[in-house]
Amino acid sequence: MSITKHSKVYESERLLHTRYKVYSIDPSTRFLVIVREDDSEEVVTSLAGNKEHQKIYKELATDMWGASSVGHGDLLEGLV
């Protein structure tokens, strides 16, 4: 998977990367995608109960759609 402009990696060019993971939002599904250092992927379809994923998703979603759109028709709907 290639890193899109809406992916983030911590401490490196504003991409969200925690040691072994790169986070992005798939714009067609609005799911959170996590790519690990070994190139394996995890697709997160619910953020309920995971504050870390909620925070990451909110930051990425704000960059993609703007703050006023976060929580409407995405994985944060009903959580924020």
Q: Over the stretch 12-69, which tens digit does the pLDDT of each residue have? A: 334 565 567 889 999 899 999 998 888 899 999 999 999 999 999 999 999 888 999 9
Higher pLDDT, 15 or 72: 72
Residue 23, judged by CB atoms within 10 A of its CB (0-12, 13-18, 19+), counts as buried
Q: What is the pLDDT of residue 16?
A: 61
Average pLDDT over residues 7-12: 43
Report CA-CA distances (Å) from 17 to 12, 22, 43: 8, 4, 16
- The pLDDT value recorded for residue 2 is 43
Q: What does the DSSP 8-state code read for residue 68?
A: G
pLDDT score, position 21: 83
pLDDT at 19: 63
